[in-house]
Amino acid sequence: ASTGRATRHERYDDKPLAARLVNSIYPLHMGTYWGLPGRIAMALSSAALLLFAVTGWWMYVDRRRTGAQVREERARLASTVSGGAAAGAVPVLLAFATQTGHAERIVLRTAAALQAAGVATDVRPLAEQAADDLRQRRHLLLVASTFGDGDPPDAAHGVIERLANDVGPGGLPHLRYGLLALGDVHFATFCGYGRALRHLMQGLGAQPLFPMIEVDDGDPEALARWTRELGRAFAVELDPSTHHPDDEPAFETWRLVRRTLLNPGSHGEALFEVELRRDDPSAADWAPGALAEVRPPSPSTGTPALPRRYSVASLPQDGCVQLLVRQVRLDGGLGLASGWLTDRAPLGAEIDLRLRPNPAFALVEDDVPCVFIGNGSGYGGLRGHLRERVRRGRGRNWLIHGERHAAHDDFAATELAAWEAAGAIAHADRVFSRDLPTRRYVQDRIREAGESLRRWIDDGGVVYVCGSLAGMAPAVDLALREVLGSATVDDLLAGNRYRRDIY
Ligand SMILES: Cc1cc2nc3c(=O)[nH]c(=O)nc-3n(C[C@H](O)[C@H](O)[C@H](O)COP(=O)(O)OP(=O)(O)OC[C@H]3O[C@@H](n4cnc5c(N)ncnc54)[C@H](O)[C@@H]3O)c2cc1C
Ligand SMILES: Cc1cc2nc3c(=O)[nH]c(=O)nc-3n(C[C@H](O)[C@H](O)[C@H](O)COP(=O)(O)O)c2cc1C
C-alpha cells in the first residue's frame, strides 16, 4: 500500500541521455528553464514551426504547378490554415496516387477541412513517400485511383514493392490508416490499386481507422462517408460539403461551329474533328494535354447526363477547342456523347463543356526529345502537344501513329507533311494495320526502330502515349520494355518521362 514515503531517489545527472531528454520536455513546455523570456522564445519558435508547415506546403504546391484549379485549392487551404493546428502533434500524412487529378483534388480538400478543424496535415504524392518518414507517423490517409487494367496510376508504379521492401513485414504497428479507393465499376478490376494498397498496409501491420471506402466514378455518397469517417476518427467536426459535386468547376456554354468527317470510306467507325468556340474566345485557357469534359443531354429527359472526357487537340492560340471524336455505335444507335457531338447536335448548338488540366499527360517544359505514340482518335491528344512544340520551335519530335488504311485513314497527312517540310518534326511514322496481308501496328514500328528509340531516350527523351487502353497501350508498353529494358521503362515512369492519356 502507499505510505507516501520515498522509496527511491533518481538523480537527473545519473540518467541516460534519452531519459534526460524525456525529463526535459515538461519543464521546457512550462517555461521552467528560462522564465518568461524562455516562454516567449518557445512560443515564437513553435509558431515558426507552424509557419514552416504552411510555407512548406506552398512550396510543394508551387512545384506541382498543375494550373488554376490547384492554385484555387492552395488559396483555400491557406485561408483555412490560419486557425492553427495543435502544436507538437505529428501531422497526419495525406498521400495521393492519381492519373487524371481526382485523387489529388480530394486530398487537397480533405487536408483543408482537417486543417480548418485544427488537425495538422502534410500532403504529398505517394510516389515521393519514404519508408523512414512513414515510421514516424501515427496517421496516414491514402487516396488512390486505379488505372490501366487494375494497375496503379503511372507515377505510383513500383511504390508498393518499394515500401514493402523498405519497411518490412509488420514494420508499421503504430500506424493507423484511412484508405479511399477511386475507381469505376465498368472496369474488370474495380479499385484494384486501392485493394492492393490495403493488402500492403495489412502486411506492414498498420491498423485501419475504418474499412476502405471505394468510390465508383466520383460517387458523392461514398465521398460524404469518407468525410464522416474522418470526423469520427479524429473527433472533429468536418464540413459535410467538403467534397460536394457543386464544388467542381461549372460547365461553360460553348458553341458547336464545325464538324468534319476525317475518314470518309473508312472500314472503321467514323472519326470527326469537332470544333467548339466561346462567344468570348479570350475567356478560355488551357495547357496542352488538357481534357474537355462534355455533358450531353440525355435523349429521353433532356436533362444533363454524366460527362464524357475528350483529349483537346488544339491550343488556346487556335481560338477554339478541337476534339477528335470517334463515333461509338451501339445496338440502338450512337453513343450518348459521341453521337451528340458528331450527329445529333445541330451546328450552332450550345454544348456544356469544361476544361480540365491533365497533369499526368502535361507537356514537358524542357527542350528534350519527345516521342509521341498513339492510335486512332489518340492523335488528338498528341496533336495538341505537337502544335505547342512546333510553336515553341522544338523540333526533336517523333510521331508513331496507327490507323487502318492509308487510303481512308491518313487524316493527318497534310499537317504532318507541312511540319516535316519545315523541319518541325523529325519523323512522322504512320503505321497502317490493314494495308498489307499481315497486320502491322505501332508496337511493331517501335520494335523495328529500337536502336533510334534508345538514343532518343538516352538523350533525355519523354514518351507520350495517347489512344486505346484495350490493345494499343499494353502492346506499346510491352514493346517499349523489350527495346529499352523493363528497368528503364520503370525509371521513365518514376521520373515522369512516360506520360499516358489512354481510354
Ligand atoms: C481520359 C479520356 C480521354 C478520352 N479522349 C477521347 C478522345 O479524344 N476521342 C474520343 O473519341 N474518345 C475519347 N474518350 C472516350 C470518351 O470519353 C467516351 O467514352 C466515348 O466517346 C464514348 O462515349 P459515348 O457517350 O458516346 O458512349 P456511351 O453511350 O457512354 O457508350 C459507351 C459504351 O458504354 C456501353 N453502353 C452504353 N450504353 C449501352 C447500351 N444501351 N447497351 C450496351 N452497351 C452500352 C458500351 O460498351 C459502349 O461502348 C476519352 C476517354 C477518357 C477517359
Ligand atoms: C485508362 C483508364 C483505366 C482505368 N482503369 C480502371 C480499373 O482498372 N479499375 C477501376 O476501378 N477504375 C479504373 N479507371 C477509373 C479511374 O480509377 C477513375 O476514373 C478515377 O476516378 C480516376 O481518378 P484520378 O483522376 O485520381 O486518376 C480507369 C480510368 C481510366 C481513364
What CATH number is given to the structural domain containing 105?
3.40.50.360
204 shares a domain with 121:
yes
- Domain boundary (340, 357, 374) is at 357
Q: Is residue 457 part of a domain?
A: yes
Residue 60 is predicted with a pLDDT of 44
Residue 202 has pLDDT above 80, yes or no: yes
Q: Is residue 3 part of a domain?
A: no
CA of 143 to the centre of ligand 1 (A): 26
| 498 vs 246, higher pLDDT | 498
CA of 384 to the centre of ligand 1 (A): 21
Q: Is residue 385 part of a domain?
A: yes
Q: How confident is the model at residue 59 (pLDDT cuts 50, 70, 90)?
A: very low
Cα dihedral sign, 398-404-408-409: negative
Rounded (10°) CA dihedral 319, 429, 489, 125: 10
Q: Is residue 326 part of a domain?
A: yes
Q: How far is CA 380 from CA 17, 100, 190, 271, 416, in A?
A: 65, 17, 28, 11, 13
Residue 249 is predicted with a pLDDT of 86
State the Cα–Cα distance between residues 243 and 218, nearest whole angstrom. 10
| Residue of 263, 310, 379, 383 best suited for mutating to test ligand 1, as the one with most atoms within 8 Å of CB | 310
Mean pLDDT across the chain: 88
Q: Is residue 244 part of a domain?
A: no
219 shares a domain with 78:
yes
Ligand 1 pocket residue status of 338, Cβ below 6 Å: yes
119 shares a domain with 106:
yes
State the Cα–Cα distance between residues 470 and 365, nearest whole angstrom. 30
Query: In ligand 2, which atom is closest to the CA atom of 149?
Result: 8
Condensed to tens digits (0 to 9), the pLDDT of residues 266-280 reads: 999 999 999 999 988
State the Cα–Cα distance between residues 69 and 171, nearest whole angstrom. 37
140 shares a domain with 221:
yes
Q: Is residue 485 part of a domain?
A: yes
Q: Closest residue (by CA) to atom 4 of ligand 1? A: 310
Ligand 2 pocket residue status of 309, Cβ below 6 Å: no
Residue 321 is predicted with a pLDDT of 98
Average pLDDT on 305-326 reads 97
Domain that holds residue 71: 66-239
Crossing angle between the packed helical segments 102-116 and 220-233, to the nearest 10 degrees: 40
- Domain boundary (35, 61, 87) is at 61
CATH code, domain carrying 314: 2.40.30.10
Q: What is the 3-state secondary structure (H, E, C) of 278-333?
A: CCCHHHCCCCCCCEEEEECECCCCCCECCCEEEEECCCHHHCCEEEEEECCEECCE
Residue 98 has pLDDT above 80, yes or no: yes
Q: How many distinct structural domains can be found in the chain?
A: 4
Ligand 1 pocket residue status of 309, Cβ below 6 Å: yes
Ligand 2 pocket residue status of 108, Cβ below 6 Å: no
Q: How confident is the model at residue 324 (pLDDT cuts 50, 70, 90)?
A: very high
Residue 30 has pLDDT above 70, yes or no: no
- Domain boundary (357, 384, 415) is at 357
Percent residues over pLDDT 90 in the chain: 78
CA of 276 to the centre of ligand 1 (A): 19
325 shares a domain with 369:
no
**DSSP structure class, residue 151:** B
198 shares a domain with 184:
yes
CATH code, domain carrying 370: 3.40.50.80
Average pLDDT on 474-490 reads 98
Ligand 1 pocket residue status of 177, Cβ below 6 Å: no
CA 503 to chain centre: 15
72 shares a domain with 192:
yes
Which of 255-264, 281-290, 418-427 has the lowest average pLDDT? Answer: 281-290
Q: Contact 125/95 with Cβ under 8 angstroms?
A: yes
Crossing angle between the packed helical segments 472-484 and 450-458, to the nearest 10 degrees: 80
Residue 55 has pLDDT above 50, yes or no: no
Residue 482 is predicted with a pLDDT of 98
Half-sphere exposure of 298 (CA within 13 A, CB side): 6
Cell numbers for 299 = 435523349
Residue 29 has pLDDT above 70, yes or no: no
Q: How confident is the model at residue 69 (pLDDT cuts 50, 70, 90)?
A: low
Average pLDDT on 449-476 reads 97
Residue 47 is predicted with a pLDDT of 53
Q: Is residue 6 part of a domain?
A: no
378 shares a domain with 347:
no
Query: In ligand 2, which atom is closest to the CA atom of 473?
Result: 1
Q: Is residue 268 part of a domain?
A: yes
Which of 37-41, 113-117, 121-125, 152-156 has the lowest average pLDDT? Answer: 37-41
Ligand 1 pocket residue status of 228, Cβ below 6 Å: no
Q: How confident is the model at residue 345 (pLDDT cuts 50, 70, 90)?
A: very high
| Residue of 109, 182, 226 best suited for mutating to test ligand 2, as the one with most atoms within 8 Å of CB | 182
Average pLDDT on 64-68 reads 46
ipTM: 0.92
24 shares a domain with 158:
no
* Closest by CA position to 501, among listed 40, 101, 8: 101
Residue 280 is predicted with a pLDDT of 86
| Residue of 149, 187, 311 best suited for mutating to test ligand 1, as the one with most atoms within 8 Å of CB | 311
Q: How confident is the model at residue 62 (pLDDT cuts 50, 70, 90)?
A: very low
278 shares a domain with 399:
no
State the Cα–Cα distance between residues 443 and 453, nearest whole angstrom. 12
375 shares a domain with 342:
no
Ligand 1 pocket residue status of 380, Cβ below 6 Å: yes
**DSSP structure class, residue 19:** H
Cell numbers for 419 = 511540319
Ligand 1 pocket residue status of 376, Cβ below 6 Å: no
Cell numbers for 336 = 450518348
229 shares a domain with 108:
yes
